[in-house]
Amino acid sequence: MLFLNILIGMIFLLSGIFMKVKPPKKINLFYGYRTARSMSNQNVWDEANKYSAQLMTVYGVLHILIGVISNIMFNDEVSFFIAIGSMGLFIMILFVLVESRLKKMM
């Protein structure tokens, strides 16, 4: 289970770092933070990708920490549910925070 927790955290972390280093320059359907609001204009697109990259980096580190702690404190089954639950929670929080920020821009 520790491997799964670290893997999920690393995916968040590396995705965030990659988007910071190589942000999508133009609105596209393949790469970046893609929602109807984020794709409405270039300024909103740039902000959505910059902010979501920051959040993914932080959430990646947090997920790794949560995974290590849950693996130490609980059995594999509980640790698995904590990993999946925290991943889902981080995705929902990321979406809410980015969309709220974009809504203020418009």
2-47 tens-digit pLDDT: 888 899 999 999 999 999 999 999 999 999 999 999 999 999 999 9
- pLDDT of amino acid 23: 94
Cβ proximity of 66 and 86 under 8 Å: yes
57-102 tens-digit pLDDT: 999 999 999 999 999 999 989 998 998 999 999 999 999 999 999 9
- In order of 49, 67, 89, 91, the CA distances from 71 in angstroms are 32, 6, 18, 21
Output the pTM of the full model.
0.90
81-91 tens-digit pLDDT: 998 999 999 99
